[in-house]
Amino acid sequence: MTFETVVSAIDSAGLAARGGFRLAQSERHGALADVGALVLIGVAGRRGWDAYAASPEAGDGLEHPLDRFSQRVIDALGAELGAVPLYPFGGPPHWPFQQWARRAEPVHPSPIGILIHPTYGLWHSYRGALGFADRLDIPALVASASPCDSCRERPCLSACPVGAFSLGGYHVGACAAHLTSAAGGD
């Protein structure tokens, strides 16, 4: 199995390969005992979002449509590629996706706590990962400066209509309350 084969399969499934890394021997225990490398999967810009929007889960009216879509697609990829699927939702275990992301691609913490990508800004997410027994030949991480370093206006802090973002972090309750209200319906 090659990293390029994995990336191609993820791309064919409509999602975005978000980079990968090899696990240190000290990390290989429990559910990760037989995992030598992780490849993260998600959405980056429109990549992945269009596949979700066209999925049956997006319009079926049931709870957690994006999680269910992600699990269906990534489980199928895992079966196809002989990999263990792992998710940032549905734990325990609660996998350290933000830490993994920083090892897989050049993302940085933003003022609101969400990781920012040098190309996609805040318009990206991690929907899962595939764990491979083989220690894939993964390209080295290319360092990149944080886009926040050159941003003086910090529009991310005032973009939310209910003030859920601040230097203190992301206020999940305020966001959730807005999204479930009539004003957050769109």
Write down the H helix ranges in the chain. Answer: 3-12, 49-53, 56-59, 65-81, 97-104, 172-179
Question: Which residues have CB under 8 Å from 48's CB, separation 6+?
Answer: 14, 15, 16, 42, 127
Model pLDDT for residues 1-41, shown as the tens digit of each residue: 999 999 999 999 999 999 999 999 999 999 999 999 999 99
What are the boundaries of each domain within the chain? 3-146, 152-186
Helices 3-12 and 65-81: crossing angle in degrees, nearest 10, is: 140
pTM over 0.75: yes
3-state DSSP assignment of residue 80: helix
Q: Convert the pLDDT of each residue in 123-151 to its tens digit.
A: 999 999 999 999 899 999 998 999 999 98
Tokens of 35: 């995992």
